[in-house]
Amino acid sequence: MAISRDKKEALVTELTNAINSSKMVVYAAYTGIDVEDMQALRRTAREQGVTIKVVKNRLVKVALAGVKDAKDIDTSLMKGQLLYAYSAEDEVMPAKILDEFAQTHPEVQLVGGFNATGASLNTADVTALAKLPTKNELIAQTVATLLSPLNDTVNALSGNLHGLLDGIRDHANA
């Protein structure tokens, strides 16, 4: 069913705002997926702060033309029936959500993406991005790395203190 010009303009405006505020947009082919699976994907994405939209590629291209940093994005991969995943909070999460979903649903295939700086990503780039740890995992790894020397020092001092106390107790008992 065709949508009116006013609705298309409103949709383009919405997409332009979404692209402007997004750190990453990833798109994937989804031919043959049923409604129940699509709803499950959207639910999972929403829980992670990612929005999933199914929009005509032509409208996305028009929206990209309205974004200053996105005017030079390669749109040659935007062909066929695509869904778009984007997030304003995390650069990795859109790719991660779609990649994890594609593992159990072969109808979904990552195609490409682009980031907030206007860099285009091909399928291999998006797949590699999906394999990266999430932002929270990276923060946890960094904190653990920073705390490691402190924990080692506390453990070493604790061991020496226990040895001293054991020696004093043994001396008192003798």
pLDDT tens-digit profile of 146-160? 877 777 776 666 666
How does residue 1 score in pLDDT terms, banded at 50, 70 and 90? low
> How far does Cα 72 stand from its chain's mean position?
23
Report percent pLDDT > 90 for the chain.
Answer: 33
Q: Are residues 79 and 25 in the same domain?
A: yes
Tally of structural domains, the chain:
2
Query: Does 155 lie in the same domain as 112?
Result: no
Mean pLDDT across the stretch 10-31?
89
* Statement to judge: residues 123 and 140 lie in one domain: no
User: Which structural domain, as residue segments, surrounds residue 165?
Assistant: 134-174
First to last CA, the chain: 94
Do 139 and 126 belong together in one domain? no
Same domain, 48 and 120: yes
pLDDT, residue 102, reads: 93
Top pLDDT among 115 and 27 is at 27
* In a shared domain, residues 125 and 139: no
Rounded CA-CA distance 107/20 in Å is 29
Write the CB contacts of 154 (distance below 8 Å, at least 6 apart in sequence): none
Predicted confidence band at 4 (pLDDT cuts at 50, 70, 90)?
confident
Q: Is the domain of 10 the same as that of 79?
A: yes
Same domain, 109 and 127: yes
Same domain, 158 and 96: no
pLDDT tens digits, one per residue of 110-149:
999 988 888 888 899 999 988 988 778 888 888 878 877 7
